[in-house]
């Protein structure tokens, strides 16, 4: 069900302006451009988090002033299975010029099922856009989708290596907590190579609805999983407290792409600088509104990753983090 409070809070600007084609005219003086902002997540977790202000700040730096030459249509699909078609339809009817799709599920559904003509800029997406059929290649996307990939090929393998380095107890059975509303769990070839090289047993535990969370983590504990990855879906931010409580109960060290998880008590976080990504997303929106075709705008991969280690959690779990790993961390929480 769509959260009416979130919708009322996010919708700004009234009126309808025609949706522009992919090879649209250059920016028109005096025209009010409309940006659709689409997010998936319980409680609008990602849209209300800290990276988004950088998006608006960067647009202002590029000369876009809300209410003067740009307006935003904000929508949140609280339950992606029930709400996405509804909110994307609303954006199409609002005749937005471009859609900022925050999170993989938003991108996938907006692109595949609803529109092939409105340009879509993806951000904070941990899905492989080539494997999902969203783009032809990173260099030449070839359709109406471009943007920034949060988790490039091999990223999960890197998280596995970091967890293994932090644990030091010889665990060989890893798990990933997976949000099935984003699609089936997949392992890219680079990560598969890491799994084979490390000789580990890698399993996934599915969460389809919030009540599934308890059963998934209990199953991981029963199968003697020693270390767990929290998949990078915005939906998990909304239930992060429950996730952390269960991991603490079963003494499971974990890692997430979201820094907020480590701040709240998860052992580690490793991922790109999301503020920088949202700034890059604003650059894409600016180029598209000024006439660039998304088919020709290369999909970017992150170049800077941040490691955060919660030393307080490590001590509670009886883990001794190697000094070499602590030196690599951007932040150590004590």
pLDDT tens digit at each of 334 positions of the chain = 444 334 433 333 323 333 344 434 445 667 899 999 988 665 444 444 568 889 999 999 999 999 999 999 998 877 666 778 888 999 999 999 999 998 776 676 677 778 999 999 999 877 788 888 889 999 999 999 999 988 888 888 999 999 999 988 878 889 999 988 777 777 878 888 888 898 889 999 999 888 899 999 999 999 999 999 998 877 788 788 899 999 999 999 999 988 889 999 999 999 988 889 999 999 999 999 999 999 999 999 888 889 999 999 999 999 999 999 999 999 999 9
- Report the pLDDT value the prediction gives residue 106, as an integer from 0 to 100: 67
Rounded distance between C-alpha atoms, residue 287 and residue 141, angstroms:
15
At residue 153, φ and ψ (nearest 5 deg) are: -55, 135
DSSP structural state of residue 211: T
What residues contact residue 268 under an 8 Å CB cut-off, 6+ apart?
162, 163, 166, 253, 254, 255, 256, 262, 307, 308, 309, 310
| CA dihedral of 142, 144, 150, 155, whole degrees rounded to 10 | -30
Rounded distance between C-alpha atoms, residue 283 and residue 298, angstroms:
12
How many residues belong to the chain?
Answer: 334
Rounded distance between C-alpha atoms, residue 124 and residue 107, angstroms:
10
- Report the pLDDT value the prediction gives residue 139, as an integer from 0 to 100: 96
Strand extents, DSSP E, 114-230:
120-125, 145-149, 173-179, 201-207, 227-230
Rounded distance between C-alpha atoms, residue 268 and residue 289, angstroms:
38
- The pTM of this model reads 0.80
Q: CB 11: neighbour CB atoms within 10 A?
A: 15
Question: First-to-last CA distance in the chain?
Answer: 40
- Report the pLDDT value the prediction gives residue 15, as an integer from 0 to 100: 30
Q: CB 59: neighbour CB atoms within 10 A?
A: 22
- Report the pLDDT value the prediction gives residue 80, as an integer from 0 to 100: 65
Strand extents, DSSP E, the chain:
33-40, 70-77, 98-102, 120-125, 145-149, 173-179, 201-207, 227-230, 254-256, 268-272, 305-310, 331-333
Nearest by Cα to 330 from 281, 275, 272, 279: 272
Rounded distance between C-alpha atoms, residue 58 and residue 52, angstroms:
10
């Amino acid at each position: 069900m769509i959260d009416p409070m979130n919708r009322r809070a996010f919708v700004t600007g009234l009126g309808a302006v025609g949706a522009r084609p992919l090879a649209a005219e250059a920016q028109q003086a005096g025209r009010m451009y409309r940006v659709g902002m689409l997010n998936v997540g319980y409680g609008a977790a990602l849209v209300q988090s800290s990276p988004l202000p950088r998006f608006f700040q960067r647009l202002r730096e590029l000369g876009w002033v809300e209410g003067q030459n740009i307006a935003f249509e904000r929508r949140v699909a609280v339950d992606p299975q029930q709400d996405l078609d509804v909110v994307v339809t609303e954006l199409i009817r609002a005749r937005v010029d471009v859609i900022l799709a925050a999170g993989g599920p938003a991108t996938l559904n907006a692109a595949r099922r609803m529109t092939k003509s409105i340009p879509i800029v993806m951000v904070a997406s941990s899905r492989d856009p080539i494997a999902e059929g969203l783009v032809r290649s990173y260099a030449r996307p070839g359709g109406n989708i471009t943007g920034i990939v949060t988790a490039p090929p091999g990223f999960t393998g890197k998280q596995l290596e970091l967890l293994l380095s932090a644990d030091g107890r010889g665990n060989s059975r890893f798990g990933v907590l997976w949000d099935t509303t984003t699609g089936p769990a997949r392992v890219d070839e680079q990560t598969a190579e890491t799994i084979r090289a490390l000789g580990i047993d890698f399993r996934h535990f599915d969460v389809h609805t919030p009540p599934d969370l308890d059963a998934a983590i209990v199953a991981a504990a029963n199968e003697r999983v020693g270390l767990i990855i929290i998949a990078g879906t915005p939906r998990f931010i909304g239930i992060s407290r429950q996730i952390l409580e269960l991991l603490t109960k079963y003494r499971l060290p974990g890692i997430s792409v979201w820094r907020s998880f480590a701040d709240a008590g998860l052992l580690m976080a490793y991922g790109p600088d999301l503020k920088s990504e949202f700034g890059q997303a604003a650059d894409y929106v600016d180029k598209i509104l000024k006439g660039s075709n998304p088919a020709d705008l290369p999909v970017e991969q992150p170049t800077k990753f941040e490691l955060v280690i919660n030393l307080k959690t490590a001590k509670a779990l009886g883990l001794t983090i190697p000094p070499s790993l602590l030196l690599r961390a951007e932040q150590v929480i004590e």
